[in-house]
Chain A
Amino acid sequence: MIFTSDNTNKLGHGLGLRSPHIDYILATKPMVDWFEVVTENYMHTRGNSFQKLMSVRKDYPIAIHGVSLSIGSTDEFDQNYLQTWKNFIDLIEPVMVSDHLCWTHVNAHHSHDLLPLPYTEEVIKHIVDRIDAVQNHIARPILLENASTYISFKESDLTEWTFISEIAQRSGCGILLDINNIFVNAHNHQFDPIEYIHGIDPHKIGYFHLAGHFDKGTYLFDTHGDRMAEQAWQLYEKTVQHTGLKPTLIEWDNDIPSFDTLMDERSIAIQRGQHAIA
């Protein structure tokens, strides 16, 4: 199964759908091209939140973005999770299905965090096999997002961008490229973010995530609780110059602002993208 960005490239600019805004969205039908939801907030329920998502879905394309697939885990797959996920996908018919290039549990102890992986050939092989199993299970390609990290393994002998590119190339999965996460990791691990961007095949990129981070002094911390930093916007522009315009999503999970603020951040993304290709 091979992801191709051809079908989704024109999707436009979306927002992360957050529960405080749903009633407003249903009532006012704002001009947003698409919404992304966190898979786990909906996959285990058919209650009110799910019913509302089904209503939003009537007016907007929906992408689902998971946090618990744990593609890099060495535990066996949780078959219950996979089946519930597939059932949810069949109901929502999302435009894109994604999770993170990370691991979240070992010995069935769920950290509910996106934990880093060693960047080695052995790990690439492990993950490619697991992506294959997952994509066959849901009968469609997935996208994996580059996560923010604060530590790294001494064992790593590949760059992060080689690691993610190789995985996408060999498994056929797509990449959800989080620009803020590249910016955060470049700072935290002292690499050139432009080299990262140029190491990624644009055809593999399904969409971009844009979000805010927090400066902890000795490192940058990914918060999803603020606007994009100016330097991260500059990286976004340079990325678009390399890849061309791609679907772009404003991701905001903590200290959720007014819907207008999200719309404003979305407008900035449109302007910065246009500016990049002008």
Chain B
Amino acid sequence: MPSLRDLQKKLLADILERNQHAAYLNHSDRINAYGDGYYRRFRGVLQNYFTIVRWYMGDGPFAEALARYIPSYPPSHPNINFYGDDFSTFLQDHHFDPVLIDIAKTQTILHHAHLQAPQKAFDLATVANQPLESWFHAKLTFQPSMTLFTTSYPIHILYNAYAQKDPPPASVPQKTMHYVTHRQGSSIFFEAFERIEYDLLIDFLAKHSLGQVLSTYEDQNIAEKLFEYFHKWQTYQLITGISFP
């Protein structure tokens, strides 16, 4: 008698191959009830996940890409909602248009930012009376959904075009972008940031104190700008806390 494990390995293989003549099964001609479902389910998840990739690619090429992705990337996560996290890697490995790879990466980052708990934004006014010297050791905490990422193309332009229901542009100029995600109510947006501002956020995220950050950027006269940035980050609800050890 075959072990349960052997039967499970055989059944999954037969489902994927749509083998209608498996001798260990009754009604093996119905195997497609599972086989069709397998591909339909994952196509559905990816269509919902990669709306903008699909818009940019067109329905036909997108369907073709899924038909290649699904057999080559067996789902490894117990939650089907994460199927698609490897899609940008797949596009990269198969030398798809680099714009598509950037869109897929962006969609994946936003997908994950959505999963983070919203936290109350910090009110800078509450620390207005902190003694000046204590600011040197101040450290910032940020909205858990805040994600910093770079792309080689201005993806936000494509997002805007998609939102306007425009057709995808014929070409997209290459340009290195530094993006930061931010939360507005129940939505996650991403914004292009200046390189220096982006780098500052990375340093603060790495738990560098205000003093350390100021010394890192000593020659760039950052102190004044930093004040401006703090207020901007506050309006984006990025800062959730400032600690003064």
Contacts and interface: CB of A to CB of B under 8 A. Distances in A.
A152 B28 CA distance: 8
Interface residues on B, range: 35 or more
B8 A74 contact: yes
Nearest to A45: B115
B146 interface: no
A47 B82 contact: no
A112 B75 contact: yes
A45 B115 CA distance: 4
Interface stretch (B34-42, B90-98, B155-163, B164-172): B34-42
Interface in B59-96: 74-83
B78 A151 contact: no
Contacts of A113: 34, 37-38, 41
Interface in A83-137: 103, 105-113, 115, 117-118, 122-123, 126
Task: Pick the most buried of B4, B42, B74, B80: most chain A CB atoms within 10 A of its CB.
Answer: B4
Interface residues of A, number: 45
B176 interface: no
Given A44-B81, A123-B4, A155-B2, A106 B12 contact: yes
A110 B77 contact: yes
Interface stretch (B19-27, B199-207, B236-244): B19-27
Nearest to B6: A74
A111 B83 CA distance: 11
B79 A44 contact: yes
A169 to B, nearest CB: 20
Given A118-B7, A218-B30, A78 B117 contact: no
Given A43-B79, A46-B117, A221-B33, A151 B9 contact: no
B213 interface: no
B34 A150 contact: yes
A89 B25 CA distance: 37
A188 interface: yes
B79 A68 contact: yes
B175 interface: no
Nearest to A123: B4
A46 B5 contact: no
Contacts of B12: 106, 109, 111, 115
Given A40-B81, A46-B117, A150-B27, A155 B1 contact: yes
A74 B9 CA distance: 10
11 contacts: A41-B81, A47-B115, A47-B118, A48-B114, A68-B80, A107-B9, A110-B76, A112-B41, A113-B41, A123-B4, A219-B27
Given A118-B7, A152-B27, 14 more contacts: A40-B78, A41-B81, A68-B80, A112-B42, A115-B11, A115-B12, A118-B4, A151-B25, A151-B33, A153-B7, A153-B25, A154-B25, A154-B26, A188-B27
Interface of A: 40-41, 43-48, 50-51, 68, 70, 72-74, 78, 81, 103, 105-113, 115, 117-118, 122-123, 126, 150-155, 188-189, 216, 218-219, 221
